Structure 1
Amino acid sequence: MADVFFISDHHFGHKHIIDFESRPFGSTEEMTETMIAKWNAAVGKDDVVFHLGDFSFLNKEKTSAILGRLNGTKTLIMGNHDRGRSRTWWLDAGFEQVSEYPIVYGGFFLLSHEPMYMNKHMPYVNIHGHIHGQKYEGNQYFNVSVEHWDYTPVSFGEIKKRVVPSEEHG
């Protein structure tokens, strides 16, 4: 059975993100190769990955080459840096599915690029990216930006362990 993973904010090809987020890479090439290796070490060929935005700053040819090297079936929820390109551009580059808007996963998880407004009475968890190394307080937010997960996609099982009380696991 396929596993499901979540990740965001790779910023492939974005030189300045290394300094902006104090990423431990000497170049965009080192960042790209390390992030591809970490993705493929976690994600199998038949697994599913939801990328929650800000995937690549590169042209379509280079973006497609990276996507072709990454394991799994890949869905993009477009981030603020992805929206300058059309949904079709991202599909042509190699994502199997692309959404311009947040989606509900598993009836309980709101997948979005930017954190969504959530109050304590809402029965959902917002899995998001966008804020990189920052973190929202509370169990209703789960940041999957690469900086929080050693540049590795995080499994749905791991997310559920951290946000759903243990007696609800089943």
Structure 2
Amino acid sequence: MSNIFFTSDQHFGHKLIIDFESRPFGSVEEMDRVMIEKWNSVVGTEDTVFHLGDFSFLNLEKTREIVSALNGYKILILGNHDRSRGRNWWLEAGFNEVSEYPVIYKDFFFLSHEPMYMNKHMPYVNVHGHIHSQKYEGKNYFNICVEHWDYTPLSFAQIRDYVVVNEEG
């Protein structure tokens, strides 16, 4: 049985993100290696991963190497740092699907790179990236940025259970 995972904002190859976000890595090479290991420690080859943007700052060849090293069927929702390269560039880099726009998953989860406007009457939870170590208040937002989750993708079940617990609390 395959599982569904979510993650965002690895910024592979982006040396400055280590300082910007106080990431616990001594070098960009260590950061990239650890994030690949953590991805593959939870994602199997038959699983699907929704990547919610800002994947890589590397060239096509190096980005393709990373994408091919990662387990799973990979769907990219373009982030602000991905859009300049265009949809076809990311498909050529090895993503199985690429969306320029947010996606609704399971009629309840609104998947986007940047947090989207959500009022308390909307029936969705916005699973998003972009804001790194910051958090939006309210039960309608779930920040999937790697800084919050030990640089590891989260499963659909983990997010669903987290949302249910917080709605009850």
Q: Same fold (TM over 0.5)?
A: yes
Corresponding position of 1:140: 140
Corresponding position of 1:54: 54
Measured on the aligned residues, the alpha-carbon RMSD in Å equals 1.4
TM-score by length of 1: 0.96
Contact map agreement 2:139 2:166 (CA 8 A) in 1: no
TM-score by length of 2: 0.97
Tell me the percent identity: 70
Note if 1:72 corresponds to 2:67.
no
Per the alignment, do residues 166 and 8 of structure 1 end up closer, same or farther by CA in structure 2, a change over 3 Å counting?
A: closer
Deviation at 1:167, TM superposition (A): 10
Whole-angstrom distance in 2 between the partners of 1:125 and 1:105: 10
Whole-angstrom distance in 2 between the partners of 1:167 and 1:154: 19
| SS of aligned partner of 2:83 | coil
Deviation at 1:137, TM superposition (A): 1.0
Which segments of 5 or more consecutive residues in structure 1 lack a partner in the other structure? none
Contact map agreement 2:139 2:167 (CA 8 A) in 1: no
Q: Deviations over 1:106-134 (max 9, x none)?
A: 11110000000000000100000000000
Corresponding position of 2:82: 82
Which segments of 5 or more consecutive residues in structure 2 lack a partner in the other structure? none
Whole-angstrom distance in 2 between the partners of 1:152 and 1:50: 13
Whole-angstrom distance in 2 between the partners of 1:77 and 1:146: 15
Q: How many residues align?
A: 168
Segments ≥4 residues shifted beyond 3 Å: 165-168
Note if 1:27 corresponds to 2:59.
no
Whole-angstrom distance in 1 between the partners of 2:101 and 2:20: 26
Corresponding position of 1:116: 116
